[in-house]
Amino acid sequence: MTQIRMTPTSDVLIIGAGPVGLTLANLLGQQGVGVLLVEKGDELIDYPRAVGIDDEALRAMQTAEIVDEVLPHTIPDQKIYMVNGDRRILSEVDPTTREFGWPRRNGFVQPLVDRVLLEGLERFPSVTVRFGTEVTDLLEEADGVVATLADGEKVRARWVVAADGGASPTRKRLGISFEGETRPTDGLVIDVANDPVGTPHAVFGGDPTRSYASISLPHGIRRWEFTLFEGEEANADDEEYVRSLLAPHVPDPSKLEIIRSRVYRHHARVAGTFKVGRIMLAGDAAHVMPVVGGQGWNSGIRDAFNLGWKLAAVVNGHAGEALLDTYEQERLGHVAQMVSVSLGMAKEMTDHDPAAAAQRDRIAANRTPEEREAQKRQAFKPQPKFDRGVVVHTPLPTSKSLPARDVPRMAGSIFPQPQATDAAGVEMRLDDATGQGWRVMMWNNDPAKFVTPEKAETLARIGGRLVQVVPKAQLPWVREHVSEGVTVVGDLGGEASLQAWFDARPVGALIVRPDHVVAAECLAQELDEVLGRVYEAASIL
């Protein structure tokens, strides 16, 4: 008689040790959540896939306290040139903003960053990682999910997150649709050591004879990507053929040190739902997009960042299970936008119809300076903006102490991260000065004077804090007069400062979620009531 092994219950089972599963495991480990992370493969995938990490993802790495280990594998502020078949520049992407505290565009070596994420899990005794472990079935029960492994072992968890890739067996097992399109042509990725070009930027070539990309990566690696036409897939393993593709790009293709080459297919698809009962999809299991936009990896990290604090809150008894329903509400719309943008860019740069390419070139040549500047600062990239979920929209104040201005409301948007100081006046990024987690932030005022003790106690219980922001010049006085338990932050002034942010908006208080999204904004006197509404939206217990 075969005896079935039953592993003790974990809080969260994560399927897939790619970047999304690893990031989520780090964020949950920080909160003491019991995690079992299983991966079908025997080790991390060692070939690069993504080549760009953005400022939002680096901020997530900062939150996970591993950004210092990630940075050595990046090229900050990597510029992109979009060129036509004659190498004429159609547009530049060169955003130099530090709105979220980090460069907006960075080249990176994914396997090395994935390794950082894996090694980061060693910090957490509550996290277990098992390679060579395949999930073959999932059975949901009233208060958990039982996963069957390939060897017959049963694993039980309260919640399951499937980050098991674009071909996700979990998504298929649940019968979730994956609508969208697959591009008719494949691509060939070639990674070369000892970069024979040596320039720091990336080039996307919209050549109607064969589109391509040439991307500088850290540590002397260069990535090339070429469109393959029908029937050429069979040549992908032919070294002579690979070197022939590279011949127009380097002086001597015979001297190249080719690390690897792989065929890939462009998909643009979004799952019909991101959550079924106690099982959630994240990363490529929930959405895939063409690589031209450089947002596939980053979109998966956004999933993990959005889901991580919510799962921890539910598991640790700080919030009701309804909080997890907001994951799809908040992520699905933005993902659909990002897939659409990436697909549009892919079609524009990989159109092999000479007439269509010529029309594209004419449009690019006639862009106004303002349009070119918008391209340069990456204005085409949609920023997350939540209308539903854990967000409270307050009416525009009508106080006569405020000028009448038509300004965008920030609730549901990511709060910026300028340089600031701690209470001692030491300069650092804002998130490091305030600490992570929920933050109730006020300009100049002591927030303890504006919220009831009960709401302040709830905030402390869920790992949040009250934050008083003052001009740096006031720090010596404020340190002597601040209420107990209030975190003081010094503002440095200038165009990107917190004072400038508050000065441009009709609010004196805001509530920031653990993923740095503004949950609500209001006038100082309204803070206690609005904070209560945020607790309700987040199902805080």
Q: Please determine, for residue 292, whether its predicted confidence score (pLDDT) is greater than 80.
A: no
Dihedral angle over CA of 289, 135, 34, 310, nearest 10: 30
Verify that 160 and 296 share a domain, yes or no.
Answer: yes
The pLDDT value given to residue 408? 86
The pLDDT value given to residue 198? 95
Domain span at residue 138? 6-66+108-176+268-344
Q: Is residue 208 part of a domain?
A: no
The pLDDT value given to residue 49? 79
Structure tokens at 266: 């462009």
Strand positions, DSSP E, 109-237: 127-131, 135-141, 144-149, 154-162, 178-193, 202-206, 212-217, 221-227
CATH (domain of 501): 3.40.30.20
Verify that 314 and 432 share a domain, yes or no.
Answer: no
CATH (domain of 340): 3.50.50.60
**Residue pair 409/435 in contact by the 8 Å Cβ criterion:** no
Verify that 442 and 527 share a domain, yes or no.
Answer: yes
Q: Please determine, for residue 3, whether its predicted confidence score (pLDDT) is greater than 60.
A: no
Q: Please determine, for residue 74, whether its predicted confidence score (pLDDT) is greater than 50.
A: yes
Lowest mean pLDDT among 28-42, 105-119, 222-236, 464-478: 222-236
User: Does the model's pTM come out above 0.85?
Assistant: yes
Q: Which of 325, 344, 363 is the last residue of a domain?
A: 344
Q: Please determine, for residue 1, whether its predicted confidence score (pLDDT) is greater than 50.
A: no
Q: Is residue 83 part of a domain?
A: no
Q: What is the pLDDT of residues 391-406, one digit of tens each?
A: 999 998 889 999 988 8
The pLDDT value given to residue 5? 65
Helix (H) or strand (E) holding 20: helix 19-30
Name beta bridge partners: 440.
Answer: 466, 511
Q: Please determine, for residue 294, whether its predicted confidence score (pLDDT) is greater than 70.
A: no
Q: What is the pLDDT of residues 462-496, one digit of tens each?
A: 999 999 999 999 999 999 999 999 999 999 999 99
Count of domains forming the chain: 2
Report how many helices (DSSP H) and strands (DSSP E) the chain contains, helices first: 15, 26
Q: Is residue 213 part of a domain?
A: no
Q: What is the mean pLDDT of residues 171-183?
A: 93
Q: Which of 344, 368, 395 is the last residue of a domain?
A: 344
Lowest mean pLDDT among 9-23, 153-167, 181-195, 501-515: 181-195
Dihedral angle over CA of 473, 479, 480, 484, nearest 10: 150
Q: Please determine, for residue 522, whether its predicted confidence score (pLDDT) is greater than 80.
A: yes
**Residue pair 73/112 in contact by the 8 Å Cβ criterion:** yes
Verify that 30 and 130 share a domain, yes or no.
Answer: yes
Q: What percentage of the chain has pLDDT greater than the value 90?
A: 78
Q: What is the pLDDT of residues 219-228, one digit of tens each?
A: 999 999 999 9
Q: Which of 300, 318, 344 is the last residue of a domain?
A: 344
Verify that 15 and 141 share a domain, yes or no.
Answer: yes
The pLDDT value given to residue 526? 97
Q: Which of 2-16, 231-245, 427-441 has the highest mean pLDDT?
A: 427-441
What whole-number distance in Å separates Cα of residue 323 and Cα of residue 60? 20
Q: Is residue 120 part of a domain?
A: yes
